[in-house]
Amino acid sequence: MQKRTKVKQWKAVVLLLLIGMCSLLLWGCSVKSEVLKNRLVVPLESDIKTFNPVLVQDAYSGIAIGYTLTSLITENAITKELEPELAEKWEFQQDGKQLIFTMRPDLKWSDGRPLTVDDVLFTYQDIIFNEKIPTGSRDVLRVGKSQTLPKVEKLDDRRISFLLSEPFAPALRTLGGSGVLPKHILEPTLKTDPKDPDKKLKFLETWTLTTPVNQLVSSGPYVIQEYRPSERIIYKPNPYYWKKGTPYIDQFVMQIVESPDTALLRFRSGDLDMYRLRGEDYQLLKRFEQRDRYKIYNAGPSTGQAFIMFNLNKGRDPKTNEPFVDPIKSKWFNDVNFRRAVAYSLNREAMITNLSRGLAQTQDSPISVPSPYFLPPEKGLKVYDYQPDKSKEILLQAGYKYNSEQQLQDAQGNLVRFTLLAPAGGRVALGAQIKSDLEKIGMKIDFNPVDFRIISDKLDNSKQWDATILGFTGGAEPNSAINLWATDGDSHLFNKGPVGEEKPFPGREVADWEKKIHDLMIQGAQELDETKRKAIYAEYQQLVQEQLPLIHLTVPLYLVAVRDRVENAQPSALAGSTGVTGALWNLEQLKLKS
């Protein structure tokens, strides 16, 4: 009897333990469910390179940082109207040569410190306008032929003035749209490290990916709570965000998913709340739209551009005196006939049909299709239809020839062979088609998909590359691309000159057409009359198409799938065509159904 009693008691204890464990598990699941209920998870197509918004060179870092920053004004992506943000109002004076912003009272940073006019003054005067800091933000703000920067002045505790050397059409968007930085955090970094032989500012090594995220001060709707390299960025609401009561979502996660196929699988499995569609995804996702409770939004042509670009830099590395580009290849790349032959050899319609499943259109301009300044082909923009025979004819007339195996050679008998780089992931299929198209006209292409950071390093640092496929996010305002077209611009990638404290590059040449494009960009920014401004930008687009420093390809429709539980979603291509950014422009207004 005793043994049976003990066995029963033991079984009872085990049963109680099992019940307890199950209760804990169920309670844990319940807690997890509550946490997940108000968490928005979206994909980010690549890891980031920096937390420093001034030193951003890639779209993905800019996207990730963007939700933590606020500017003086913002643009409504649906109405296209400018709206107050940190500034409650603004006005032009002195016939458009002075722009005055009035700040909201009682603004704060995420650490609770006051956000004031002094922060705005510091952002422009000490950071953006500081020639020791390499940043494309500065190029966008240069005014007129003299390329002078605005004079910024604190008028009183709430007003700041920007004095322009001449009327500047993009002034309101460019000056008002830059993120404000915290003076109390970053001012000490504007000193050189005495141990650094190059005497570089500490700022250049500030807010790197190794910086503890609790040291990243924010003014935007969110602050970064956690960063796991190549995995995810987790955000939590900024308790001092100026729009009181927002954001509504407790946790925002950007999941780094570099493979589009993986991102699609994770969206379909419910791990992601949004997904930017490729053409090949549309039929599949449309079929299950109602069953899986999401909606596919079509926001029209994207503002982004995809293009192939050749390295036109004839310069040499001042340290080694080695040319950035093999002189034989450099001669091909700098031959406009070579570039035109390439343009005619690319089968853009096949790209649209095969890669985008018809959900794209050709992109023939450096200005985004949705922009009011875009010059359509029917109004005279030069285009390059698929004509491989014409490509060969152009090459032969330019002195190239074909050997017995129909391989293209230059006049000296050198086989035309070069390396084409592309970011691994979404551009691989595009690169494969371009390789195929170019080989049909006799060129030999070594196609090399690599991590975007490798390409970025070659473009910005070593300058040693042949050709690459890239894309820009674009937008409505043409002057936002001035740092690409300014001959000394930080993003003049196809013929990049020295930036910051870099020594001049021996042998670098700037072509007359490069200077002309730069001049047209300046004229477009100076002109306040919209009709005349459009005419200037039409000439600029035409010149780019004649010289082809960028050979444009196609632009997809902006299609994004958003789960039904996400409320207030209003995707817009003009808000950003990289990934799901076009559906996140009003992130602080998004809500999740319980």
Determine the Cα–Cα distance for residues 8 and 6; give it in Å rounded to an integer: 5
Q: Which of 187, 216, 248 is the last residue before a domain boundary?
A: 187
Residue 113 is part of a domain; what is its CATH number?
Answer: 3.90.76.10
Tell whether 60 is covered by a domain: no
Of 158, 165, 140, the residue nearest 100 (C-alpha): 158
Mean of per-residue pLDDT scores for the chain? 91
Determine the Cα–Cα distance for residues 136 and 9; give it in Å rounded to an integer: 75
Whether the Cβ atoms of residue 364 and residue 546 lie closer than 8 Å to each other: no
Residue 472 is part of a domain; what is its CATH number?
Answer: 3.10.105.10
Tell whether 10 is covered by a domain: no
Q: Domain limits at 312?
A: 305-403+466-555
Q: Which two tokens stand for residue 206?
A: 């500030």
Whether the Cβ atoms of residue 370 and residue 574 lie closer than 8 Å to each other: yes
With a CB cutoff of 8 Å and minimum separation 6, the contacts of 80 are 476, 574
What pLDDT score was predicted for residue 2?
42
Model confidence at 33, pLDDT cuts 50, 70, 90, reads very low
Tell whether 272 is covered by a domain: no
Among 144-153, 173-182, 280-289, where is mean pLDDT lowest? 144-153
- For the chain, how many structural domains are there in total? 2
Q: Classify strands 251-256 and 39-44 as parallel, antiparallel or unpaired.
A: parallel
Pick 10 or 587 by higher pLDDT.
587
What pLDDT score was predicted for residue 5?
43
Tell whether 592 is covered by a domain: no
Tell whether 589 is covered by a domain: no
Residues 541 and 399 in one domain: yes
Whether the Cβ atoms of residue 586 and residue 568 lie closer than 8 Å to each other: yes
H-helix segments, 144-271: 171-176, 183-186, 260-268
Q: Which of 187, 214, 244 is the last residue before a domain boundary?
A: 187
Global model pTM greater than 0.85: no
Tell whether 437 is covered by a domain: no
Of 132, 129, 134, 108, the residue nearest 119 (C-alpha): 108
Tell whether 492 is covered by a domain: yes
State how far the alpha carbon of 287 is from the alpha carbons of 178, 268, 279, 291, 300, in Å.
41, 12, 14, 8, 20
With a CB cutoff of 8 Å and minimum separation 6, the contacts of 231 are 255, 256
Extended strands (E) in 104-192: 151-154, 159-163
Q: Is the pLDDT of residue 313 over 70?
A: yes
How many angstroms from the chain centroid is the CA of residue 549?
Answer: 19
Q: Is the pLDDT of residue 221 over 70?
A: yes
* pLDDT tens column, 256-289: 999 999 999 999 999 999 999 988 899 999 999 9
Report the greatest alpha carbon distance in the chain: 108
Q: Is the pLDDT of residue 466 over 60?
A: yes
Tell whether 334 is covered by a domain: yes
pLDDT (mean) for 58-83: 92
Give phi and psi for 422, each to the nearest 5.
-155, 145
What pLDDT score was predicted for residue 194?
73
Q: How far apart are the first and last CA of the chain?
A: 55
Residues 183 and 310 in one domain: no
Q: Which of 555, 571, 586 is the last residue before a domain boundary?
A: 555
